[in-house]
Structure 1
């Protein structure tokens, strides 16, 4: 019958099919101790990067962690959370700009371990004065 052919409870994938997690580029990069920050920095992005930093720091305190950055910047508080996690790591955090590191992205690029901050030949870095407002009477 047709329903017996679609019984997914008893379905087993062929052994020659790779598992989904092995096809996930983020997991493949993480296994090489590479974190990719490729978006605006907000609370969700920061949580993701911080959790990856903490995971890699707990696995091996001596091997470098590489943080690739292509970000237009974003939230100061979220970025400072990433900065604090970078400084918490006993392993050196190497920062590499690919594309753009602007605003908070540039701050994180400059926060890499001494001697391990890099920019690709066609990348751009933009740093500006902090913005703020004051109100009152």
Structure 2
């Protein structure tokens, strides 16, 4: 098992052994998942995480444009610019991206979940989703700089709301009202809202419930 070097918690990353013919190869768990076209977003979205996910998507798209990429999401959200970089890459590559919410997809995590290919946005039964307006830490500086930052924030907020309204089928007015504060949805509510297309009950059972 190897350690994730830049993680202050020093989380252990398992190593798995894969049999390839008569040869055994050791992979860290994420590399082994990537071999099966699975990408895992399991934390906050920041520039480093975004760059890693983008690189994996570009690699898999080059490998086979006709095969889906599965993006599992268990994330509290994070940076809007970093999330939008992933969002644009999902739309840029030719492969369909099948998004699956495991545990939680909040904020930018929910935005990426909703951006999965049509009919290929899934959630596990006890996962939940949260959408809200963009969040930023305290703004400081000169008044003019604060005004410029505020204008940019409002522009970003309006852009994200329009995209999310298109992805969910909700009216823009309704969505804008709901995201003024944290808006939480369980799996069934996320399905009804249009954030996902189905609820997964297991790999053998497939989709338990499809959006009507």
Superposed pair shares fold, TM > 0.5? yes
Quick one: distance in 2 between partners of 1:56 and 1:69?
A: 18
Quick one: distance in 1 between partners of 2:87 and 2:96?
A: 13
Equivalent in 25, 28, 52 of residue 29 of structure 2: 25
**Residue 44 of structure 2 corresponds to which residue in structure 1?**
40
Please say if 1:112 is aligned against 2:116.
Answer: yes
**Residue 13 of structure 1 corresponds to which residue in structure 2?**
none
Once the two structures are TM-superposed, the CA of residue 129 in structure 1 deviates from its matched residue by 2.0
Please say if 1:135 is aligned against 2:146.
Answer: yes
Please say if 1:123 is aligned against 2:134.
Answer: no
- List alignment gaps of at least 5 residues for structure 2: 1-21, 140-144, 148-212
> 1:73-112 maps to which residues of 2 (within 5 A)?
73-112=77-116
RMSD of Structure 2 on Structure 1 (CA) = 1.8
**Number of aligned residue pairs:** 119
Once the two structures are TM-superposed, the CA of residue 135 in structure 1 deviates from its matched residue by 2.6
Which structure's relative contact order is higher, taking Cα pairs within 8 Å and 6+ residues apart? Answer: 1
Q: Larger Rg: 1 or 2?
A: 1
- List alignment gaps of at least 5 residues for structure 1: 1-15
**Residue 168 of structure 2 corresponds to which residue in structure 1?**
none
Quick one: distance in 2 between partners of 1:42 and 1:84?
A: 15
Quick one: distance in 2 between partners of 1:99 and 1:120?
A: 8
Once the two structures are TM-superposed, the CA of residue 131 in structure 1 deviates from its matched residue by 3.9
| TM-score (norm. length: structure 1) | 0.81
Moved over 3 A (4+): 16-19, 131-134
| TM-score (norm. length: structure 2) | 0.53
